Amino acid sequence: MATERTRLLVDAGLSRKETFERLASADVDPESLTAILITHEHGDHVAGLQAITRKRNIPVYLSRLTAPAIAWGEYVPPLELFQAGAEFTIGDIDVTSFTIPHDAVDPVGLSFRAQGIKISIATDLGYLPESIRYHLRGSDVLLLEANHDLEMLKVGPYPWSVKQRVMGRMGHLSNEVACSFVRDELDTSTSTLILGHLSEHNNHPEIVRLMASQALDGRDLFTRLMVAEAKQATETILY
């Protein structure tokens, strides 16, 4: 999320090198980052955090309960702590945090508002309670999790205990649940829908694309569909 004055990075699960290369591919200077926001402490969301922040001492925004759950080591960047559910402003971007159901200490989703545009991010959640549906309403851009195909997960390589975790109410959204939301409740104001956080072993981008396209059929919406893939940068969205 960026304006002319403020540039925010959500989560830092990639290495510093990979993160900076992806920013550069989008014509973004890493030196221009204003802050990093962390949704929760799992490794795929914080693995590169210290290396990325160490160079420029970038402030990190995260919940009060998430902060002590991260193994900071010798270097701790400037921390801006908030209560899950809080609203705050970074530069000229208004941020709303909201609690999500996931097996982390205090995970949050995020909405951003600036210059009349609302962008929402909801990944790493086991289901979509009404509270989250409320926060996603009115989003011009929505990044929603479509983590796994149920059949692929059931026959996939994960141990049964992990499969149960992924399918549980504190796990991850399946394609079916995500696309049911798209079919029945996606806000008419959403002009760009990004489905992301796909499992490398239990999903495939073309499955997600097909199911989401079918969910959008008949809605009479002019929604642009994008599927974010882990190994490549997603196209920049301009408003």
- Distance (Å, whole) CA 106 – CA 89: 20
Number of CB atoms found within 10 A of residue 214's CB: 12
- b/e burial code for range 74-86 (CB count within 10 A of at least 16 → b): eeebeeeebebee
Query: What pLDDT, on a 0 to 100 scale, did the predictor assign at position 45?
Result: 97
Q: What is the structure's pLDDT at 200?
A: 94
Same topology for domains 1-83 and 116-239, yes or no? yes
pLDDT, one tens digit per residue, over 40-67 is 999 999 999 999 999 788 999 999 999 9
- CATH number corresponding to 116-239: 3.60.15.10
Give the pLDDT score at 51.
93
CATH code of the domain occupying 1-83: 3.60.15.10
**Ranges of the chain with pLDDT below 50:** none
Instruction: Check: CB of residue 6 under 8 Å from CB of residue 90.
Output: yes
pLDDT digits (tens, 9 = 90+) for 147-176: 999 999 999 999 999 999 999 999 999 999
pTM assigned to the model: 0.96
Give the per-residue pLDDT at 55.
Answer: 79
Domain ranges for the chain: 1-83, 116-239
Q: What is the pLDDT of residue 95?
A: 98
